Chains A and B, each alone.
Chain A
């Protein structure tokens, strides 16, 4: 249970971290479209990866959320 709590907190911190990262020049340098990846502009491919990572974190969250164990269903 304690481990799940820790993993869940790590997921939350990672999700918040990714959101913050998105709004820094690391992902959205103003007016800069390079380096491109396979022709895709920089901000688009980096933010696409962030979106996928957020969905993956949500999936991990479903596995480690501490309240879900022994959850009595409605």
Chain B
């Protein structure tokens, strides 16, 4: 296998170096560095959005989620993604119209401007920081676990994590967002190819889709229906997950940035449709891998299942591709998230452009280091931590949608309510307060309450005369 890892690894590294150098310009402006010149076409747009969205969370997390919770996992992610691409169409139109004629400096900067209140930007940045960093950390950890299984005893897990963070930093520093988008294109295709090769091998183990479900059903019938053997996938959990995933393009800055930097409205629309098709294609083989795990490794822990299904049970070349595919999946998502945090920080800074860029790059470095430490200390199911990340940032959804869509002068109350909602959600995660009230999940209650506050704020807001957007200073 080592031979194949070197072969695929060198090809992959070569493509990354090529993408960085192709994106590198000596005297590039900060706009070119942070926003890729806002000129991304359809193919790159689809692949970068998909690569940022489908990470180790999909590659490793979803097979594990299917293995443990059964077929309802499809509703959790694929139906939610289908609804998300429809929302992307609607929200993408509005946000692109909103930023037309001004320099987009991240959601924090935009939302501060919409409310004419800096606190709005700070609250959004706080939520992005608090919920993206652990998510980045667990993805780095996922790669480290996998590498440790592939090369036992060669490096400690933290050594792999440090290496990944280092590659991410060097790479984004050289090429900026454009390099990240180019690498996403490579990684998106690689992810799709590898997940299908492994998925197909797992399906072949059963001899077809029908026999697969027949065998799994005979062993554990609960896997074939909701709420699944652990009782997790209840309608309430799935509805709250749908809302959290719907809010991804609105509240996760790496996605909002990608909507804005698309070349035109038309390419953004087609990107939404293609992304929906890509989602179905990527999630489908994770069912086969999950059912394979349920058949052979139902009693195993997460790490053993990953190591067996993706490495030991596969031919050497496929196992090597899985390693490279996983690194690609993790790297594309983590650098998109870390870079987006840097971009959000930039939107909040004022002063000389050179000084802002220097502080932004220092910020990206600091975020990476914090994510590295999280990768060593966090331990959770990939999918559930990702869901917490989506829900945590999703709390900001009503504030952002109101700020961008409302043509009225609205009360800043939603900013304080969103901050309050964030603190309440954090308190529940820390175990200080319960996460269920009158039989209802706290995250669902927060989404509904903040949505109502946003609606009331809009209805009671003063109508204002529309003025043409002012060029950003």
Contacts and interface: CB of A to CB of B under 8 A. Distances in A.
Contacts of A33: 217, 221, 224-225
9 nearest A-B pairs in the assembled complex, by CB-CB distance:
A39-B210, A54-B82, A55-B276, A33-B224, A41-B224, A62-B269, A73-B264, A44-B71, A51-B82
Contacts of B208: 39
28 contacts: A12-B90, A15-B83, A15-B86, A23-B242, A28-B75, A30-B227, A31-B226, A33-B221, A33-B225, A39-B208, A44-B71, A47-B74, A47-B79, A50-B79, A50-B82, A52-B82, A55-B273, A58-B88, A58-B89, A61-B90, A61-B269, A65-B89, A67-B97, A68-B265, A73-B263, A73-B264, A74-B38, A74-B96
Contact of B86 (A39, A40, A58, A74): A58
B209 A38 contact: yes
Contacts of A53: 82
**What's the dominant secondary structure at chain A's contact region?**
helix
A28 B213 contact: no
B214 A39 contact: yes
A28 B93 contact: no
B272 A62 contact: yes
B339 to A, nearest CB: 21
Interface in B79-99: 79, 81-83, 85-86, 88-90, 93, 96-97
B277 interface: yes
Contact of B72 (A15, A19, A40, A43): A43
Interface of B: 38, 71-72, 74-75, 78-79, 81-83, 85-86, 88-90, 93, 96-97, 100, 208-214, 217, 221-222, 224-227, 235, 238-239, 242, 263-266, 269-270, 272-273, 276-277, 279-280, 287
Contacts of A72: 100
A29 interface: yes
A36 interface: yes
A71 B38 CA distance: 17
A17 B146 CA distance: 41
B265 A74 contact: yes
A73 B265 CA distance: 6
B211 A54 contact: no
A31 B225 contact: yes
B264 A48 contact: no
A50 B78 CA distance: 9
A13 B119 CA distance: 35
Nearest to B225: A33
Given A19-B242, A51-B280, A41 B96 contact: no
Which one of B74, B75, B214, B217 has the highest number of Cβ atoms from chain A below 10 Å of its Cβ?
B75
Contacts of B89: 58, 61-62, 65
Which one of B212, B217, B265, B270 has the highest number of Cβ atoms from chain A below 10 Å of its Cβ?
B265
A36 B224 CA distance: 10
B100 A74 contact: yes
Contacts of A43: 71-72, 74-75, 224-226
B426 to A, nearest CB: 27
Contacts of B97: 67
Contacts of A38: 209-210
A22 B225 contact: no
B265 A54 contact: no
A27 B358 CA distance: 53
Contacts of A57: 86
Contacts of B280: 51-52, 55
A7 interface: no
Contacts of A61: 86, 89-90, 269
Contacts of B269: 61-62, 65, 68
Nearest to A39: B210
A32 B225 contact: yes
Contacts of B222: 31
